[in-house]
Amino acid sequence: MTPTHENPSHPTLTLTVNGKTHSFLLGEGSHEVPPSHTLAQTLRERLGLTGTKISCDHGACGCCTVLMDGKAVLSCMLLTVECEGKEITTIEGLGNPVTGAIDPLQQSFIDHTAFQCGFCTPGIIMSAKALLNENPSSTRDEVKEALSGNFCRCITHYHVLDAVMAAAQKGGK
């Protein structure tokens, strides 16, 4: 039987992260995932995927954005137990796993210096990636709207818009 969150007594949880499937025991023990842990905590603390950042821890800033089944979600607002059977992509999982080449969107961020401190950058890239997956030729206003939940205190917004638009114009390629 596949464990699901409808069956909370089941002690394991399966997640696919960046193409790799992980099974976790649920519980409070030191090698288990506590039911109170957010997806962001599990990614960072259990899987060492620290590219996903926690800033507000409150659903406000978008720094913790990852893709879940291709859609942008806030990993600080999801309990790991709610993610049973989901496919998660983090910033570490972008790009080509075979060649190791980075995603064109990441390259565009480099080309446009679309970051300053870079703390918000993984979340912004993941939000933008979700948008371009859905609509590869988004307009500037659509990009603004899609990123309106992403905080950037350094005010790199203008360069980010240029970077995302450049990637969009290439059809996300």
Partner 1 sequence: MKEYRFIGKPTPRKDALDIVTGRTKFINDLTIPNMLYGKVLRSPLPHALIKSIDTAEAMRLPGVKAVHTYKDVPDWMGGLPLHVRVLDNKVRYVGDAVALIAAETEDIGEDALRLIKVEYEPLPAVYDVEEAMQPGAPQLYEQFPGNILPQGIPAFGPHSLQEVVIGDVEKGREEADFIVEGTYAYENIPNPLPPESPGVIAAWEGTDTLTVWSASQGPHMIKVSLQRRMGSINLHSIGNPVGASYGSKYMSWQYVLPAAALAKATGRPVKFCYGRSEHLAAFTVRLGSRIHGKVGMKKNGDVTFLSGDWLVNTGAFSETSQAMVAVGCGEAQLMLRCPNWSLKPKVVCTNRTASGQIRGFGGQELKCALLPLLTMAMEKAGIDPVDFFKRNYVKPGDGYYWRDGNWWVCRGTDYTKAIEQGAGTFGWKDKWKGWLKPTSVKGVKQRGVGVGVHGNADVGEDVSEAYVRLDPNGTATIYSGLAEHGTGQRSNICKMVAEILQLPLDRVSVTPNDSRVNPYEMGPVGSRGTYAIGSAVIAAAEDAKRQLFELIAPKFKVKAEDLETEDGMVYVKGKAGTKIPWIKAMGYDRTVMGRGRFEPDFALPNFMMIFTEVEVDTETGKVDLIRVVGATDVGQIIDPPGITNQLNGCLGSAGIDTALFEETVIDTRLGRIMNPNMIDYKWRTFSELPEMEHVILETPFPSHRFHAVGVGEIATAPGPSAVLMAVSNAIGVRIHDYPLTPDKVLSALGKITTAKRRAK
Q: Is 130 in the site for partner 1 (CB under 8 A)?
A: no
Regarding 20 and contact with ligand FES (CB under 6 A), the answer is no
Contact 52, 64 (CB under 8 A): yes
- The smaller minimum CB distance to partner 1, of residues 62 and 83, is found at 62
Number of C-beta neighbours around residue 111 at 10 A: 13
Residue pair 127/149 in contact (Cβ under 8 Å)? The answer is: yes
Candidates 15, 39, 49, 88; binder of partner 1 (CB under 8 A) is: 49
Q: Which residue has the tokens 């506590």?
A: 34
- 3-class SS at 127? helix
Q: How far is CA 23 from the centre of its chain?
A: 20
Question: CA-CA distance, 122 to 127, in Å (whole number)?
Answer: 9
**Closer of 4 and 110 to partner 1 (Cβ):** 110
- Three-state SS at 10: coil
161 binds, among ligand FES, partner 1, none (CB under 5 to 8 A by kind): partner 1
Please, which residue, 70 or 118, has the CB nearer to partner 1?
Answer: 118
Quick check: 129 binds partner 1 (CB under 8 A)? Answer: no
By CB under 6 A, the residues from 85 to 114 that bind ligand FES are none
Give me the DSSP letters along 146-169. Answer: HTTT---TT--HHHHHHHHHHHHH
Token readout for 13 is 């949880």
Interacting partner of 139 out of partner 1, ligand FES, none (Cβ under 5 to 8 A depending on kind): none
74 binds, among ligand FES, partner 1, none (CB under 5 to 8 A by kind): ligand FES
By beta-carbon proximity to ligand FES, the closer residue of 45 and 137 is: 45
50 binds ligand FES (CB under 6 A): no
Q: Which residues bind ligand FES (CB under 6 A)?
A: 54-64, 74, 76, 115-120, 152-154, 156
